[in-house]
Amino acid sequence: LRIDTEFRLLPVHLWLKEKLSALVLDTDRARKIISELIPKSDSSLDVDEYRQILYDQITVFADQLSTGEIPLSCDKYGRVHSPLTRFPKALRCCLSIEEGELGGIDLANSQPLFAGMVARKYENSSRQSRLKLRNWMPPKVPYGPGPVVPPCNTMSKSTQLVDNQGCCDLRSQGHYDVNEFIDLCQSGLFYEELIPAGMERSVFKRQVFRDLFFGRDRCSSKIRDVFTSRFPTVAKVISKLKSNNYRRM
């Protein structure tokens, strides 16, 4: 596994790994923050167990930074894993570099939006192109182009409407829910629209990722049922893309 992981490292990964050594961790500040943290409402851990896990995590990370032996791996789907990517959100303020504080950029609702864009492309594709999407596997270099599917403007004009971004408007085919879903994601309000009353947003987001986008569909899920009722076309495409291998989604 180690050899396979190292074999996948590209120049961009080696560059990222080198940059990790520039990190500085304020362990005293981190320990003070941890002493006030409590686990999420859906966690099976009690407060002491949760805090001890975080204490152990920052201790290991601090040792890795001091020795310069910081692990970084890339899976076959192109996702990078390192102590930094696993670092708890509440403790990110404890990380810096010699030049100053770190900054972060978050794209609201980005992964649901990508799913909506894939659903729109899938619905506008030929049967052969849909098969390519369902059977897609990542190439050796995972950051190259994905499967080739015809652009929207290759469809017959009789069934095509084009929006101001140059993409097909599925209202012409009755798939109103795809465009509604994409509009909702672009507004950054996808989770707020569907979250049950009284549930934490972070808890709901994790359940959406697990039950809808990235987990197996073996077990029943209220979240998946609600989503399917509201966005049936998007839910159908997600199910089809996960049918051969749920991790492909």
Model pLDDT for residues 153-188, shown as the tens digit of each residue: 444 343 344 444 445 544 445 578 999 999 999 999
Q: 150 vs 116, which has greater pLDDT?
A: 116
In the predicted structure, residue 43 carries a pLDDT above the cut 80: yes
Overall average pLDDT of the 145-157 stretch = 51
Q: 0.85 exceeded by the pTM?
A: no
Token pair in block for residue 222? 């209220």
Residue at 101: amino acid letter: E
| Helix (H), strand (E) at residue 138 | none
Q: How many helices (H) and strands (E) are present in the chain, helices listed first?
A: 11, 5
pLDDT of 187 reads 94
Least confident span in 120-129, 148-157, 236-245: 148-157
| Angstrom distance (rounded) from CA 228 to CA 82 | 34
Quickly list H helices, 68-164: 110-123, 127-134
- The pLDDT of residue 147 is above 70: no
Q: Give every CB contact of residue 144 below 8 A, 6+ residues apart in sequence.
A: none
Distance, CA of 212 to CA of 208 (rounded, Å): 5
pLDDT for the residue numbered 132 = 85
| Helix or strand holding residue 23 (H, E) | strand 23-25
- Among 2-11, 55-64, 147-156, 209-218, the least confident range: 147-156
